[in-house]
Every structure is written in C-alpha cells, then in structure tokens.
Amino acid sequence: MNEDPAHDAFYRLDLAYKGTAYRGFQRQPGDAPTVQSVVEDTLRRLFRDPELHLVTGSRTDAGVHALCLTTSFRTPEARDPDEIAALLSHQLPHDIRALSLRLMPPGTTFNAHEQSCGKSYLYAVNPGDYHLFQKETCWGWPGVTDLSEIRRLFPLVAGTHDFSAFTSPRAAAAGIPVRTVWRAEMRQFGPVVCFYLAGNGFLYNMIRRIVGAMYSVASGALSPADFRNRLEHPFFDPDSCVAPPHGLFLKKIFFRPGEWETDPFDRPPFLG
C-alpha cells in the first residue's frame, strides 16, 4: 500500500452486529471467527487489496454485540461508496450489517482509533421471569423484582473514579485505572431493564463487572455500601460477579466533544 496518505482514499464504515457467533471484534491468529476478519476479508475482495486493514474506535469481546461500531480503512484507489455498501450488504453474513460507508473528501484522512473521544454502552437484563427468546441478548435475573437499590447506584458510578475494583489486576496495572463516566442511567422498557453508560473510556470488563456488582446488590450478596466502597476505596475481589457478555451492546463511539449529551436512550438495544 502507498504509505503517502495524500495518495490514498480514506473511508469511514459503521457496523452493527450480533456477537453471539464471534470471538470478539479483533482478528485473531488461526481460523477463529471474528467480526474484523469477516468484514476485512470481504473488503479485501471488493477492493482487490490484500493489505486493506480495518482500524476501529473500539473493540468488543466474544459474545458482545454492537449497535454502531465505527471503523476506518484506506485504499490506494477510491471506489463509489454506495456501490461498495450495496455489495457489502449482499456479501456479509446475516449477523453483521454495514450501516453506512463514507468516502472522505480528497486530501482528508480519518482514523477511527485516533479520533475517537469516548463511547457509550447498553446492558440489558431480564429481571423476574425467564424469557426464552431473549436469552442471547439479555442477562436473566430470575427472582429479582425490586430494583430500587440498583437505581440509586447509578449516580455513584457517574463522575471520575479509580475503577480498579471493576477490572482485572493486570488491566489496572497496565495503565491509569481512572476513567470518567459522563452518564450513568437505568430505564425499564416492559420486561427489559437497560443500563446506559457513556464515558471517555472503559477498562477491560469494566461494564460487565459494574453490572455484575449491581446484580450482587439486587440479589443481596452485596450491600449498597459495599458497592460504594469499591468506588471510593478500590480493591480487587477475585470472587466478584462478572456479567455475561451476551447482555452487553456497544452503542456508539463519539468523535465530537459533548456528543454524548444528545446520545438517545429511549429503547432496548435490540429494537434499533
């Protein structure tokens, strides 16, 4: 590939996918099915460019879904984005969808990783009765019906904290474990309860551990004071609950300051 970006075409590709069948987004050694490998290989065929590489503003773990994950790539030759988008819609599997494909204006670059400034997630739970047809998109909380204590935890999560208690010790030691959560909200849509978190960044398993701790409070294994203590005096508990991946959805990656303020939270993730 030509290393001079002035001679390359830059694209922005927004993807949605159901992560059940994939080992996460990032390409892995061997034949493990990942979202990146499927999309990247399809684009390489369409552009006849074996070096085409997707850059992403975020990654998802095995089994985690995405409502809108923004990626970017560059190629030596510009192609009609509408034509490529139409071909993608026919060639990608049913559980991966190209939401939009944009060709940047000549001389304009775009890097989804370098230019992202935050992201939002949704986590869906099913309190009370078990729902058979939501087993791949919600975490069932059988027997849990009172969510009043959970609702009071969200203002605690918002703000700037050391989230070492909500990641692995290795992840906490690898970098600065302080993150800022701009919004932390909970809403109920019929039988489904959704948790929304938006922030400037999230540690490994951070959301799944926060939701797992909330479940522990709802089920009586932790007190609200225990939850608060993990935020104010972080410590790692190897026995802490980690929410399963299938209830987690990457909602949106932000590229403009303050974009999170208008990010809508008005429906469950599997309704668009």
Length of the chain: 272
Phi-psi region of 127 (alpha: psi -120 to 50; beta: other; left: phi over 0): beta
- Residue 123 identity: Y
* Contact of 41 with 225, CB cutoff 8 Å: no
**Tokens standing for 116?**
């992202």
Q: Which of 212, 70, 201 is nearest to 139 (CA)?
A: 212
> Does residue 61 have an active-site annotation?
yes
Rounded CA gap, 66 and 18, in Å? 7
Catalytic residue among 4, 8, 31, 61: 61
| Three-class secondary structure of residue 217 per DSSP | helix
Q: How far apart are the first and last CA of the chain?
A: 37
Rounded CA gap, 19 and 123, in Å? 14
Q: So which residues are the catalytic ones?
A: 61
